[in-house]
Structure 1
Amino acid sequence: MDKEQQIAPSAGQKGEEQHAIDVGTGEHGDGGGGIAGDAAEASENERLALVEEPGKKKSTRVAALDAFRGLTIVLMILVDDAGGAYERMDHSPWNGCTLADFVMPFFLFIVGIAIAFALKRVPKLGATMKKITIRTLKMLFWGLLLQGGYSHAPDDLSYGVDMKKIRWCGILQRIALVYFVVALIEAFTTKVRPTTVRSGPYAIFHAYRWQWLGGFIAFVIYMVTTFSLYVPDWSYVYHIDGDVNDGKQFTIQCGVRGHLDPACNAVGHVDRMVWGINHLYMQPVWIRSKDCTFSSPRTGPLRTDAPSWCLGPFEPEGLLSSISSILSGTIGIHYGHVLIHFKTHKERLKHWLLMGFSLLVLGILLHFTNAIPINKQLYSFSYVCFTAGAAGVVLSAFYILIDVWGFRTPFLFLEWIGMNAMLVFVLAAQAIFPAFVNGWYYDSPGNTLVSWIQKHVFINVWHSQRLGTLLYVIFGEIVFWGVVSGILHKLGIYWKL
């Protein structure tokens, strides 16, 4: 059987139904919190997803999607835990794009693909709406718990948060908003969605015009607000125990519209008005910018002439920027629709790569012409285009290597992590497991198994704090969780929302 005909229309449809289950949560789940069906339906779909060939069975599972999700989790662990040693892989202080800046849009991109499969069929709209709402609430709860300030993992063994300063926004909260909006549009348009797509380069865009209309509305809301909202002067009181600036009040003079600088942009103003300045992220990355320190892009002492906004709070997962991020999910669901409707590798890759490179070029042009700089903190339109284009190209490369050419073994650890993405996100990326291990210390809270391994197995051996930290993150965290995920996969254990 020819490789491009391995997914025949009838068997391919059944295989894609199975992937509605697989892609949302990793494996044997219900499409992300129950959307695609219960466990019994999952088992039945898994049996139907096998294509009979002479003497063997060929699975139609698209492994590149799990590998892509696993790559996103790995990037998050790498930049979170090694970014302090190698600041150039950490988030860009303001304009520009670094390795860390790809993590959030990659998450939203794969969430969009998951929605396309999980809601390929909506038998009962009411039940589907209930499941979408419940899953959204679950993500909001976990987001508040992990990033609201209650958990002080991994170094501080205390817990609890002052409700006057709780952080309302975070990674899972943004994913929840994008998921909720994109999934609602997909569910409500089930009766106008086609079972087949006509030929033509724009046919699939027309078939899913309501999804693109939703993304366009989000784009208009973001652009109009960003460039027309009046940003007044604002002030804040800096609170860091032991810091020379503790207790000082700073005032930032604005009185402008359409500015995209750190001090006076509409994204920050909306969050200050909606959430309150005490509920924003208190350690924004702009403190590493050239305006704030001569050590940029690394962390360093403040310049004597540093502007007053350098120590101010800013929410990188705020409300207006989250509205813009709906576009990342919209582009992701388009890639899912292509995967559903086009059955050959050539057709899928043609659509994916053309759109991916087009978005990359558009993002680069907007940035280097200074029309709209690439900026993760603002989630600018150029940032959406550039990162979504990169996601499309990376997914296409994975698809070619893993699903077309069959080089699956080198990427198995990414697949395993992708199948248990939520578990690795909570235990590793949010440092819950290291916090648990650190709870068993010897003589003093700083003398733990984790710190001993970092110091004696990596840092002292390589005589370098930076290199030792990087190697610890690679082998002590990423490889470790790859092995754990592989074991859990073999045991059939998966954690999902």
Structure 2
Amino acid sequence: MKKRIESVDILRGFTIAAMILVNTPGSWSYVYPPLLHAKWHGLTPTDLIFPFFLFIVGISIYFAYKNKPNAQATYKKIIVRSLKLIGLGLFLGLFLPSAPFVKEFETLRFLGVLQRIGIVFLFSAILYLNCNWKTLFGIGTIILIVYWLCLGYVPLPDGTLPTFDRSPNNWAMYIDSNLLGKHMWQADYDPEGLLSTLPAIATCIIGVLVGKLLDGLRDIKPLLVVAVLLLLSGYIWNVWFPISKALWSSSFVLVTAGWGTLILACIYYLTDVKQLKFGSIYKYVGMNAITIYFLSSFVSKTFYLTKVGDTNVHAWLYNTLFVHDFLSDKLSSLMYALTVVLAYMFLGYFLYKKKIFIKV
């Protein structure tokens, strides 16, 4: 691609900024509801963030590999990049800021955000290299339908009927509990679990198809039509398969991809069609998205685990600089998160101006 699509970089950077915002409140006891995930079923603005990123990964796959040969060297680069992402995720899980500097393997969480990005990227990129858009559309559709039927209608090994609720009778939770054991986010489920990675691949495939639609696009009407179709189908499917990020339900895939397409269409119209200077700061972050996300996660974990007297660095900074009588607890917590976001946005700006682009 000779010219980058501004709107894609802006949406990617905005998504990373939003990830950092919801991941680093001053106190988890004081967070405004829109900045929290839905407890199980339902959809909050926070629930849109991760699927938006996978959706953008799909768009990037289209433009990155549309002229690449279906050859061994291309597959090697895809596999290496995927392993790097998985490795970074495992490093974050293992790392401790003090001796012995490595967490006990018995309690290591195998899966996570970066691991899911790596796995989804691997399968989506390989599918793209080997399938035309019609086949990709069919594969994505089959994944969503089979996932729904499996979770909703296939009896578990003990003969009990499955459920979409948070219970041992949920197929996604059943598989994770039996295969991952203690290596999960929580004792009974993992939001980036094994089975729910399948519909996450469908999210990425939708991104690939939207990327094809974007290629040479001069009018946002096709994007708006796709967005409306995705939203309608997702909200209708919600009647039978509830929207749930925890399960990455099929309705969740369609609704989040619909919102992603709609927001992308709006940004595309302003930046790529009307050529308005809009959201450049997010573009700077988007050019080093994985680097900034990884660094924010690394620093946040270090702050939480590094002691300062009877507390830790995170709590000390929050209580010293942001907790005041004239601010509510939730506003203080939000101010801390916004300060962290601004710091990483400045880092993105600095890296961009220095022409430093770290590819993972």
TM score, norm. by length of structure 2: 0.91
- The alpha-carbon deviation at position 495 of structure 1 amounts to 1.8
- The alpha-carbon deviation at position 378 of structure 1 amounts to 0.9
- The alpha-carbon deviation at position 217 of structure 1 amounts to 3.5
- The alpha-carbon deviation at position 180 of structure 1 amounts to 1.2
Q: 2:223 aligns to what SS in structure 1?
A: helix
Q: How far apart, in 1, do the equivalents of 2:116 and 2:101 lie?
A: 24
Read off the aligned partner of 2:177 and give its amino acid letter: R
Q: What is the aligned partner in structure 1 of residue 290 from structure 2?
A: 422
Does the 8 A contact of 1:108 with 1:329 survive in 2?
yes
Does the 8 A contact of 1:352 with 1:396 survive in 2?
yes
Read off the aligned partner of 2:253 and give its amino acid letter: V
Read off the aligned partner of 2:284 and give its amino acid letter: W
- The alpha-carbon deviation at position 78 of structure 1 amounts to 1.4
Q: 1:333 aligns to what SS in structure 2?
A: helix
Q: What is the aligned partner in structure 2 of residue 178 from structure 1?
A: 120
Q: How far apart, in 2, do the equivalents of 1:97 and 1:469 lie?
A: 22
**Do residues 354 (structure 1) and 219 (structure 2) align?**
no
How many pairs were matched up?
A: 356
Change (3 A) 1:426 1:445: farther
Q: What is the aligned partner in structure 2 of residue 489 from structure 1?
A: 352
Does the 8 A contact of 1:157 with 1:435 survive in 2?
no
Read off the aligned partner of 1:421 and give its amino acid letter: A
- The alpha-carbon deviation at position 129 of structure 1 amounts to 0.9
Q: How far apart, in 2, do the equivalents of 1:447 and 1:139 lie?
A: 28
Q: How far apart, in 2, do the equivalents of 1:228 and 1:144 lie?
A: 34
Unaligned runs of 5+ in 1: 1-16, 19-59, 194-207, 234-254, 283-311
Q: How far apart, in 1, do the equivalents of 2:305 and 2:194 lie?
A: 35
Does the 8 A contact of 1:459 with 1:467 survive in 2?
no
Q: How far apart, in 2, do the equivalents of 1:273 and 1:74 lie?
A: 35
Q: What is the aligned partner in structure 2 of residue 446 from structure 1?
A: 311
**Do residues 433 (structure 1) and 299 (structure 2) align?**
yes
The CA deviation string for residues 442-492 of structure 1, in whole angstroms up to 9 with x for no partner, is: 6x26364x5454234322264332211101211x21111111111111101
Change (3 A) 1:362 1:213: closer
Q: How far apart, in 1, do the equivalents of 2:99 and 2:330 lie?
A: 25
**Do residues 133 (structure 1) and 1 (structure 2) align?**
no
The CA deviation string for residues 15-74 of structure 1, in whole angstroms up to 9 with x for no partner, is: xx23xxxxxxxxxxxxxxxxxxxxxxxxxxxxxxxxxxxxxxxxx432111110011111
**Do residues 279 (structure 1) and 204 (structure 2) align?**
no
- The alpha-carbon deviation at position 122 of structure 1 amounts to 2.2
**Do residues 377 (structure 1) and 282 (structure 2) align?**
no
Q: How far apart, in 2, do the equivalents of 1:226 and 1:135 lie?
A: 31
Q: How far apart, in 2, do the equivalents of 1:438 and 1:143 lie?
A: 18
**Do residues 389 (structure 1) and 252 (structure 2) align?**
no
Change (3 A) 1:451 1:269: closer
Q: What is the aligned partner in structure 2 of residue 316 from structure 1?
A: 191
Q: How far apart, in 2, do the equivalents of 1:440 and 1:377 lie?
A: 30
The CA deviation string for residues 227-253 of structure 1, in whole angstroms up to 9 with x for no partner, is: 3433367xxxxxxxxxxxxxxxxxxxx
Q: 2:324 aligns to what SS in structure 1?
A: helix
Q: How far apart, in 1, do the equivalents of 2:105 and 2:301 lie?
A: 22
Q: What is the aligned partner in structure 2 of residue 100 from structure 1?
A: 46
Q: How far apart, in 2, do the equivalents of 1:339 and 1:169 lie?
A: 32
Change (3 A) 1:144 1:406: same
Q: 1:496 aligns to what SS in structure 2?
A: coil
Change (3 A) 1:439 1:268: closer
Of 105, 113, 130, which aligns to 1:188? 130
Map residues 46-65 of structure 1 onto 2, 5 A cutoff. Answer: 60-65=3-8
Of 150, 155, 161, which aligns to 2:103? 161
Structure possessing the higher relative contact order (Cα contacts under 8 Å, 6 or more residues apart): 2
Change (3 A) 1:436 1:281: closer
Change (3 A) 1:228 1:365: closer
Higher Rg:
1
Q: 1:273 aligns to what SS in structure 2?
A: helix
The CA deviation string for residues 357-409 of structure 1, in whole angstroms up to 9 with x for no partner, is: 11112222222xx3111111111111111100000011111112222233324
Does the 8 A contact of 1:79 with 1:99 survive in 2?
no
Map residues 187-336 of structure 1 onto 2, 5 A cutoff. Answer: 187-189=129-131, 208-231=133-156, 256-263=160-167, 264-275=169-180, 277-282=181-186, 312-336=187-211
Q: CA RMSD in A?
A: 2.4
Of 61, 66, 80, which aligns to 1:120? 66
Change (3 A) 1:259 1:459: same
Q: What is the aligned partner in structure 2 of residue 406 from structure 1?
A: 275
- The alpha-carbon deviation at position 438 of structure 1 amounts to 7.4
Map residues 26-65 of structure 1 onto 2, 5 A cutoff. Answer: 60-65=3-8
Read off the aligned partner of 1:494 and give its amino acid letter: F
Q: How far apart, in 2, do the equivalents of 1:158 and 1:364 lie?
A: 49
Unaligned runs of 5+ in 2: none
- The alpha-carbon deviation at position 216 of structure 1 amounts to 2.9
Q: 2:148 aligns to what SS in structure 1?
A: helix
Q: How far apart, in 1, do the equivalents of 2:143 and 2:119 lie?
A: 12
- The alpha-carbon deviation at position 328 of structure 1 amounts to 0.5
Q: How far apart, in 2, do the equivalents of 1:327 and 1:124 lie?
A: 21
- The alpha-carbon deviation at position 434 of structure 1 amounts to 4.4
Q: What is the aligned partner in structure 2 of residue 10 from structure 1?
A: none
- The alpha-carbon deviation at position 335 of structure 1 amounts to 0.9
Does the 8 A contact of 1:454 with 1:472 survive in 2?
yes
Change (3 A) 1:488 1:140: same
Q: How far apart, in 1, do the equivalents of 2:179 and 2:307 lie?
A: 42
Q: How far apart, in 1, do the equivalents of 2:303 and 2:312 lie?
A: 11
The CA deviation string for residues 76-95 of structure 1, in whole angstroms up to 9 with x for no partner, is: 11112238222522111111
Does the 8 A contact of 1:66 with 1:418 survive in 2?
yes
Does the 8 A contact of 1:218 with 1:324 survive in 2?
yes
Q: How far apart, in 1, do the equivalents of 2:99 and 2:303 lie?
A: 10
